[in-house]
Structure 1
């Protein structure tokens, strides 16, 4: 193998002009040491000189990405504030020539971090006051397949998935020399919230909805808990076709008291379906354990100017506990049809609780005090050196985080009109990190099916592309080893045999 690395700096002048620093609010300090990884399997090579020019143009639009993370001096009472020094120092881009790899190994959208390690240029744990770039890109040219593996390491402190995706989409547009007028211009600003009101009744109402922050842990407690969880659990991957998602939504809507006013999203129903199956398998394997009756959702609150502009650069997400749900028991001596109707009603009940939480999060009268407390708990976490507790808090909860609406594949669309590869039709996207009972939802990838039947890469074997999962979703998470295989097998069987069929056979 051979490798080259360049430092790419923004085209001057940048949008920040003479501004020297960008001060962080507490909401951005919650994820100071977390890194997001993404990998795109491009069907061909690209022009790296052209890519570097596109990246330089994008850094001019997003100048904080080319800066460095810094901290003001501590005082006796508090830690110093975090800020980005807008120094235009740039970010590294590496290109590796790989003459040995015959097949790219990743299959699922979400993979274990160890699978990602050979393909990324990692960011060190310490980035504050270290002159460490906040983003790193790496290209690996697979000469035996003709593919290129394009990866990013993005420090979460820069921004959430929305911010990273918008940044990548600008690069792709500039590379294709396409107009960026259709893309939102990132708002390089920060919102600083006041302290929460001294209203104990309001605090008693809001704080239980953010247990992940209220019960934050120091690393000495969190890291062993995460390691123990990984040893005790297995990864689960469930993919849904668009037709299956549509049918699930239809079934849930029909189970509503008034289907005419149902406003359930497809992701609401997919999560409800997974939870319903989890409870069913749990009742068989661990009847002594409490079943799930509460969903915790990760939500973006951009779009309300008082809290976050639509394209705000940074982290704009809250984790909200949705209203708990109660499933009605199956009537005694129920027939097959009654059981299917019961399935529809249960699906509707769970999906409705998720939708109720989403609707609540968009109400400014609720969101304003919620964000004030969210900001205050983020501030405490930073000052006390704690991290949000992302593992399940109780047996009764499952958390989910959906990236279904984010087109990650098109964020690496380097192909112009008329190309066979245009609009990332044959590009695959992968990310990493599994957490116990924390369901992550991503758009599915196209699959190359070789004639021999084994997964492969175009150019290795004859075969064809399978697009049956296009516009579908993959849900991935970890479950206890005693339940994971049964859960995954049951769902995959039902998706093949017909949704709701196994419930009718109980």
Structure 2
């Protein structure tokens, strides 16, 4: 570890892997097109720890983790360009290390992040950022870590900037979980071991009829744009939309799931996930508010789902180091109609059936993506479009394709708070009970779902407070929504949750 004192209140270190690493003898990992798709994306994570930890002990844990995750300590490089196009990207396994900075903050009286998902601007003061333009062939670290000691509150803010090209949320979470295990001296034998076998896919079928079937399912790539086109569209989207954050308790999600299951037609059997139903509810609420405020606008009838396809050895080993997610357009849904002269009970049943119709369309898309034959063909086209994006300098377009579409990306199966579990079993802060996790990036009608945090309620006089665990095992949904409907959408949803969805929509 190399230490550098940069300011009176900040120290910086470079942490390298403990040798030998699991990649000993390998010089590089060649990147498939899928990993190049997210070269300019950075994932931000922040853990709010209730008290300080031992930084030297943390860096020893990080060094041990890097011996298993050696690519994280490497550098991204590019082979020389040729007449045929840009040179391939590869990850140089040179054990160059990861920077860790420690900042002493003597002024902050309260950490400002409250919701799980926050804006990049909220993250900026707490991170050591990765410069987008200086990563490839610039000896630039791919992960940067910072600790900020809040001396007035006793908390420690632990943040990581992780270049998405290293891997997706599953791999990022596994990396931080290894660090936490090493820090506590816990047994790592129960943790999955990352695989560094990269999967390279064949070209897609040449049959135009097959392309016509599959390309509309990946419009975010089919309609990829140059930065000159996309950046103004993103800025315009941010101007006309408002961030929306809504938290649901486990009991509220359970109530919605029961209602959706009750609304499944006839003798059909469907295993709907909590997120299937949560997204269905948000869409139903959105469409109702739009119908009231903008009756001429088209309503959402199509869901785009971000699906992890790990576990199929032909396409992605279960613990493949890298990115293994597709964005798939699910089959469109149509909602049942209300009978004439419908009464309150009819409205109740209609709500259940509408929930079921939307959730079933989401589940149908998920099941389709798990079919190996379908997935293989999808990934061949996906891979070809990723290669095109890299060669032509295009970026995937995550903005809504039309008024009729909404996208969601759920991380509810990932227990991010475990990455901050840096307290010994005999500590009063042991486990994740008093740890809060935050991340960033919100887009228009792009629902991101995370597990909720416990809330620390500060006393009115500012001298203390208490932990509110009522949202434990709940879910937070966050996205940007047209500003003209955002306020009513939030108000209606809060009213529904307050009433337990007992008579939702019954008076419409």
Q: CA deviation digits over 1:134-174, x for unaligned, max 9?
A: 00000000011110000000001111111100000000000
State the distance in 1 between where 2:266 and 2:115 align. Answer: 38
The aligned residue for residue 232 of structure 2 is 224
Pairwise CA distance, 1:118: 0.2
Distance 2:445 2:60 in 1: 42
Match of 2:84 among 54, 77, 91: 77
The yes-or-no answer on 1:464 pairing with 2:466 is: yes
Q: Normalising by the residue count of structure 2, what TM-score does the alignment of the two structures yield?
A: 0.97
Give the Cα separation in 2 of the matches to 1:146 and 1:20.
43
Distance 1:24 1:358 in 2: 27
Q: Deviations over 1:196-217 (max 9, x none)?
A: 1112221111111000000000
Structure 1: 4+ residue segments shifted above 3 A:
none
Q: Indicate yes or no: 2:349 matched with 1:341.
A: yes
Distance of aligned partners of 1:259 and 1:133 in 2 relative to their CA distance in 1, 3 Å threshold: farther
Structure 2 contact 15–97 (Cα < 8 Å) conserved: yes
State the Cα distance separating 1:258 from its structure 2 match: 4.5
In the comparison of the two structures, how many residue pairs are matched?
Answer: 500
Residue 412 of structure 2: aligned partner: 404
CA contact (8 A) 2:252 2:500 kept: no
C-alpha contact (below 8 Å) 1:32/1:156 kept by paired residues: yes
Mark the runs of 5 or more structure 1 residues left unpaired by the alignment.
Answer: 454-459
Counterparts of 1:500 and 1:28, CA distance in 2? 46
Task: Tell me if 1:105 matches 2:112.
Answer: yes
Kindly state the Cα deviation for residue 133 of structure 1 after the two structures are TM-superposed.
0.2
Deviations 1:332-366 (A, max 9, x none): 21010010000000000000000000011001011
The CA distance in 2 between the partners of 1:155 and 1:443, in whole Å, is: 22
SS in 2 for 1:6: strand
Deviation of residue 421 (structure 1)? 1.5
| Correspondent of 2:492 among 487, 490, 493 | 490
Equivalent residues in 2 for 1:389-428 (5 A)?
A: 389-428=397-436
How far apart are the structure 1 equivalents of 2:57 and 2:459? Answer: 36
Cα separation, 2, equivalents of 1:414 and 1:502: 43
In 2, distance between residues paired with 1:286 and 1:293?
16
- 1:419 is displaced (CA, Å) by 1.9
State the match for 1:251 in structure 2: 259
Q: Distance in 2 between matches of 1:38 and 1:259?
A: 44
Decide which of 37, 47, 61 is 2:44's aligned counterpart: 37
- Pairwise mapping of residues 431-470 of structure 1 onto structure 2 (< 5 A)? 431-452=439-460, 461-470=463-472
SS class of match (2:24) = coil
- Equivalent in the alignment of 2:479: 477
Q: Matches of 1:100 and 1:503 in 2, distance apart?
A: 48
Report whether the alignment pairs 1:142 with 2:150.
yes
Quick check: 1:8–1:92 contact (8 Å CA) kept in 2? Answer: yes
* CA displacement at 1:418 relative to structure 2: 2.4
Aligned pair 1:429/2:437, yes or no? yes
Distance in 1, matches of 2:112 and 2:340, equals: 50
Contact 1:5 1:92 in 2 (8 A): yes
* 1:298 counterpart residue number: 306
Distance (Å, rounded) in 2 between the aligned partners of 1:25 and 1:247: 43
> How many Å apart are 1:462 and its aligned residue?
2.7
Contact conserved, 2:255 with 2:500, CA < 8 A, in 1?
A: no
1:115 is the counterpart of 2:110: no
CA distance in 1, matches of 2:481, 2:16: 43
CA distance in 2, matches of 1:297, 1:500: 29
User: Where does residue 277 of structure 1 map in the other structure?
Assistant: 285
Q: Cα gap change, 1:324/1:260 in structure 2, threshold over 3 Å: closer, same or farther?
A: closer
Q: Deviations over 1:310-329 (max 9, x none)?
A: 00000101000000000022
TM-score w.r.t. the length of structure 1 is 0.98
The alpha carbon displacement at 1:262 in A equals: 2.0
Q: CA deviation at 1:500?
A: 5.2
- Structure 1 stretch displaced more, 19-28 or 254-263: 254-263
Determine if contact 1:253/1:259 at 8 Å carries over to the other structure: no
Counterparts of 1:27 and 1:258, CA distance in 2? 41
Unaligned residue ranges in structure 2 (runs of 5+): 1-7
- Whether 2:66 is the aligned partner of 1:59: answer yes
Distance 2:131 2:442 in 1: 20
Distance 1:99 1:208 in 2: 53
Task: Provide the secondary structure at the position in 1 that maps to 2:260.
Answer: helix
**In structure 2, what is the Cα distance between the partners aligned to 1:266 and 1:258?**
21
The residue that corresponds to 1:307 in the other structure is 315
Question: 1:239 maps to what in 2?
Answer: 247
C-alpha deviations, 1:402-424, integer Å up to 9, x for none?
A: 00000011111011212221221
CA distance in 2, matches of 1:210, 1:172: 37
Cα distance in 2 for residues equivalent to 1:387 and 1:177: 42
Partner Cα distance (1:118, 1:200) in 2: 50
